[in-house]
Amino acid sequence: MKVDPTFWLVARSTGITAYVLVTASVLAGLVVKSRPFGSAVKTADAVDLHRALAFLGLGMLALHGVALTLDRTVHLSPVALVVPGVSSYRPLPVALGVVACELAALLVVSFPLRRRIGIRAWRRLHWASYLVFLTATVHGLTAGTDSARPWASGLYLGAVGAVAFATAWRALDRPTRIPVPERRS
């Protein structure tokens, strides 16, 4: 009996697409604050793009999970998609993917709750986007069956390089502040 590879191909392609979208969302989020393009990109447009990419990435992650449960190659149960460490297929790499997905979902849900939870708490929560990116990268490298291929290695290397560069830019590019004249009594 021949196994139909359709769901396996869908799982692989949606996983890679989700990774690209998560990377692009992280980069768009960094652009919101660091503004490397000056006034050429409006803050509101960058925020909208950041949200849309995060939402689309989460949708691709959902399709990735559904395809994996329908596929007969790795035999993942629906429980393995929500409980880290339950998978019999590459337990640690799959657990990292589950954690990345759940954190990504939390971040997407936090967008409309920003005012309710407070800007300071929301910004602190958004530091988890680095953890999402890191765990998704390790998940892809260790669970992905295409990781050893040159194009996939290049994709991961390029994504890590871009996020590292954008993070460094944001950290080093402090806006210049105009000194406030002292009050004389």
User: For helices 128-143 and 91-110, what crossing angle results, to 10°?
Assistant: 150
Per run of 10 residues, the mean pLDDT along the chain (length 185 residues) is: 81 95 93 66 79 94 94 86 89 93 93 89 90 96 90 95 91 64 60
> Is residue 135 within 8 Å of 101, Cβ to Cβ?
no
CB atoms within 10 A of CB 160: 15
> Is residue 71 within 8 Å of 7, Cβ to Cβ?
yes
CB atoms within 10 A of CB 50: 21
Please tell me the distance from the alpha carbon of residue 36 to that of residue 72, in angstroms, as a whole number: 46
CA–CA distances in Å: residue 49 to residues 61, 150, 166: 18, 29, 16
Model pLDDT, residue 39: 63
DSSP 72: S
Model pLDDT, residue 46: 79
Model pLDDT, residue 175: 59
Model pLDDT, residue 184: 61
> Is residue 124 within 8 Å of 131, Cβ to Cβ?
no
Model pLDDT, residue 61: 95
Model pLDDT, residue 176: 52
Q: Which two tokens stand for residue 172?
A: 């080093």
Predicted model pTM: 0.86
> Is residue 47 within 8 Å of 29, Cβ to Cβ?
no
Please tell me the distance from the alpha carbon of residue 117 to that of residue 122, in angstroms, as a whole number: 6
User: For helices 6-34 and 150-172, what crossing angle results, to 10°?
Assistant: 20
Q: Locate the domains of the chain by residue range.
A: 6-81+90-170
Alpha helix segments (H runs only) across 35-87:
43-70
